[in-house]
Amino acid sequence: MNETTICAVGNVATQPVYRELATGPSARFRLAVTSRYLDRAKNEWTDGHTNFFTVWANRQLATNAAGSLNVGDPVVVQGRLKVRSDVREGQSWTSADIDAVAIGHDLARGTSAFRRTPRPEVGGAASPDRPEPDWETPPTDSPSQQAPEPVAVT
């Protein structure tokens, strides 16, 4: 299947909206991507056109994005580009959405502190309060631990 995969570098333009759906967690936010170019006449960098994308995240990515992103954060988003056209109230609308596979802070523009999300325990694993079993076999040097000799029965 041919899909357009993109990597967009920009700023979070709206606070992420988080929802619990029947299919699992979902989050969306707007991403502003502004091109920059060197204006040789002025010898300075100038902002070009700004493109806006709606970024969609699902499952654990949605939960982590909603808890980590704020308006203005510089981010890198990788995902599938979906261009959608629609007619609403007689108006023709076109939107460019990104179904995100990965979202992260742009470390070229700042620092970040990563915290791994804890994995849920599967199948009721042993609680940490329960001591670990002793799997060591005790040495058989002492006479009290030796098994008695078998007796022949006639």
Question: What six digits make up the tokens of 50?
Answer: 């700004």
pLDDT one-digit tens code per residue, 78-111: 999 999 998 988 999 899 999 999 999 999 999 9
Which pLDDT score, from 0 to 100, does residue 3 have? Answer: 85
* HSE, side-chain direction, 13 A CA sphere, residue 149: 2
Domains in the chain and their CATH numbers?
5-110 (2.40.50.140)
Summarize the confidence of residues 70-76 as an average pLDDT: 96
Which pLDDT score, from 0 to 100, does residue 129 have? Answer: 60
pLDDT band at 116 (very low <50, low <70, confident <90, very high): confident
Which pLDDT score, from 0 to 100, does residue 150 have? Answer: 64
Q: Determine which of 44-53, 67-76, 140-149 has the lowest per-residue pLDDT on average.
A: 140-149
Question: What six digits make up the tokens of 116?
Answer: 């791994």
Which pLDDT score, from 0 to 100, does residue 27 have? Answer: 96
Q: Determine which of 29-33, 66-70, 135-139 has the lowest per-residue pLDDT on average.
A: 135-139
pLDDT one-digit tens code per residue, 124-150: 554 556 565 566 666 666 555 556 666
Q: How far is CA 124 from CA 116, 118, 119, 139, in A?
A: 21, 15, 13, 34
